[in-house]
Amino acid sequence: MALARKIVPRKELEQLGVYSPGKPIEEVQKELGLTSVIKMASNENPFGYSPKAKEAMIKEMEKVNLYPETMAPALAAKLADKFGISKDSFLFGNGSDEIIAFLTRAYIRPGDSAIMADITFPRYETNVLIQGGNPVKVPLQQGTHDLDGMLKEINGKTRMIFVCNPNNPTGTIVEKENLLTFIKQVPSDILIVMDEAYYEYALSNEYLQTIPLLKEHPNLVILRTFSKAYGLAALRIGYGIMDKEVVNELIKVKDPFNTDRIAQAAALASLNDNEFLQLCVARNREGMNYIEGELEKLGLSSFPSEANFLMIHLGRSGKEVFEQLLRKGIIVRSGHVLGYPDSIRVTIGNESENLEFVKALREVMAEK
C-alpha cells in the first residue's frame, strides 16, 4: 500500500491570497432577503453596452462551433486604423489582466523585481509573485504614483515597472509632464507597463497620451480593455499595445484561443459605436459631479478621479459603512480590502442608482 503523502504546491503560492471581487447581487439578495439591490462595487458600466455589439454577438452565435482567430486580426486592424499604428502592435487577452500574466510569464525570472505603487491594482503583485519575482511597492502620495520614488528603486534586478493611470482604486492620474519625464528616465531594458483600463473616462488635459510614445520607447507597453467604458465586462476581452518584438515574445506564452469569437465580434462592433461610448463617458462625469457635490454637503471628500469610481474618505470604518449600506441594498467596496480602511470605493451608477446611494449614505452617516 502506498504511503500517504501531502501534495505540496509551489513555494511561490505561499504568499498569495485569493482575489476578493465585489459581492454579486444574487448573493446579497439571498443573504439579506432583499428584492432590490444596486451594485456599485466593481466599476462596471451601468449603461450596458452598444446595441451594435448585441447585433454582432447574435450573428456570431452561428459560428460557435468554430475556434476563434487566435490573434483577432479584424479587431487588430480596426484598432490599428483607430490609433494610426501597425496592427502587429496588438495582442488580445481574456481581459487586459491576462496580458499582465503574459508579461510576467515572459519576462520575470525568479529573483527579478517589478516596481509598482502601493496601493494599486493587486494583480501586478500576484503575477510577479507567481513567477518567483519580487514586487517592490512604492507608497502613493495623496493617492497618486510617486514616480521619483519608483525611479529610486530601480536596480540591476528590475525588469518591469507598472503604472496604473488612472489608478485603481484611487482614480487619480499622474500629471502629463511628470509621467513623460519618468518614461524618458527609465532604462530602455526595463518594461514600462502603462495600465490604462479607465482610459476612456480620463478627460483631464493633464492626461498623457502614450500611444505616440511607442516608436521612441519600445520598452513601453499600454494595456486597455473593453470591460469598462465599452460595457463588455462579462466577455473578458482586453488588449495590449506594444512593440512587435514584445508581441512576438508574449505569443509564445499565451494560449492559442484565449479570446472567444463572440467577445471579438462584440469588441469590433463596439468600436463602430462612438456615440454610445461618448454618451457613457458624459453620463459618468455627470454622475460623478453629482456625488461629489453631495459629499461636500455631508462634509466628506474623495480623491480626484478620472475613472468611473470614487474613493470616498469617511473618517470612520469603511467596513462598517459598507455593511450598513449592504443592509440597505447598496453594494460598494469596503476600503479595508483596498488599503484605505476609513474609506469606501463607489462605482458611478446611473441617475437613479446615484440618487439611491446618496440617500443611503446620508442615512448611514447620520447613524451613530
More confident residue, 5 or 339: 339
Same domain, yes or no: 262 and 333: no
Q: What is the mean pLDDT of residues 219-223?
A: 98
| pLDDT (tens digit per residue) in 191-203 | 999 999 999 999 9
Of 226, 246, 272, the domain-final residue: 272
Angle, helix 318-327 to helix 25-32, in steps of 10 degrees: 70
Q: What is the mean pLDDT of residues 337-352?
A: 96
Angstrom distance (rounded) from CA 334 to CA 316:
12
DSSP assignment letter at 85: S
Same domain, yes or no: 321 and 206: no
Same domain, yes or no: 262 and 286: no
| CATH code for the domain of 313 | 3.90.1150.10
Give the domain extent around 353: 21-48+275-366
Same domain, yes or no: 136 and 212: yes
Residue 13 belongs to some domain of the structure: no
Residue 6 belongs to some domain of the structure: no
Residue 7 predicted with pLDDT over 90: no
Residue 19: its pLDDT value, please?
Answer: 66
Contact 171, 201 (CB under 8 A): no
Residue 304: cis peptide before it, omega within 30 degrees of 0: no
Same domain, yes or no: 218 and 321: no
Same domain, yes or no: 62 and 181: yes
Residue 128, all three cell numbers: 510577479
Angstrom distance (rounded) from CA 329 to CA 343:
18
Contacts of 104 (CB under 8 A, 6+ apart): 114, 127, 128, 130, 131, 133, 160
Q: Does residue 207 sit in helix, strand or coil?
A: coil
Of 222, 253, 272, the domain-final residue: 272
Kindly report the number of other CB atoms within 10 A of residue 46's CB atom: 21
Residue 100, all three cell numbers: 499582465
Q: Structurally, how many domains does the chain consist of?
A: 2
Angstrom distance (rounded) from CA 54 to CA 266:
7
Same domain, yes or no: 284 and 331: yes
Kindly report the number of other CB atoms within 10 A of residue 295's CB atom: 19
Residue 368: its pLDDT value, please?
Answer: 64
Q: What is the largest distance, in Å, between two alpha-carbon atoms of the chain?
A: 72
DSSP assignment letter at 144: B
Residue 222: its pLDDT value, please?
Answer: 98
Helix/strand/coil (H/E/C) assignment for every residue in 301-353: EECCCCCCEEEEECCCCHHHHHHHHHHCCEECEEHHHCCCCCEEEEECCCHHH
Q: What is the mean pLDDT of residues 259-272?
A: 98
Residue closest to 292 by CA, chosen among 300, 282, 284: 300
| pLDDT (tens digit per residue) in 275-297 | 999 999 999 999 999 999 999 99
Q: What is the mean pLDDT of residues 147-173?
A: 98
| CATH code for the domain of 211 | 3.40.640.10
Residue 1 predicted with pLDDT over 70: no
Taking all residues of the chain, what is their mean pLDDT, rounded to a whole number? 95
What is the band of 163 on the pLDDT scale with cuts at 50, 70, 90?
Answer: very high
How many angstroms from the chain centroid is the CA of residue 254? 20
Gap between the terminal Cα atoms of the chain: 63
| Candidate from 5-9, 22-26, 285-289, 335-339 with smallest mean pLDDT | 22-26
Contact 119, 169 (CB under 8 A): yes
Residue 2: its pLDDT value, please?
Answer: 62
Same domain, yes or no: 199 and 253: yes
User: What is the arrangement of strands in the sheet containing 333-334, beginning at the earlier edge strand?
Assistant: 301-302, 309-313, 343-347, 333-334
Residue 12: its pLDDT value, please?
Answer: 80
How many angstroms from the chain centroid is the CA of residue 64? 28
Contact 255, 206 (CB under 8 A): no
| Residue at 154: amino acid letter | I
Of 272, 307, 323, the domain-final residue: 272
Residue 62 belongs to some domain of the structure: yes
| pLDDT (tens digit per residue) in 58-98 | 999 999 999 999 999 999 999 999 999 999 999 999 999 99
Kindly report the number of other CB atoms within 10 A of residue 59's CB atom: 12
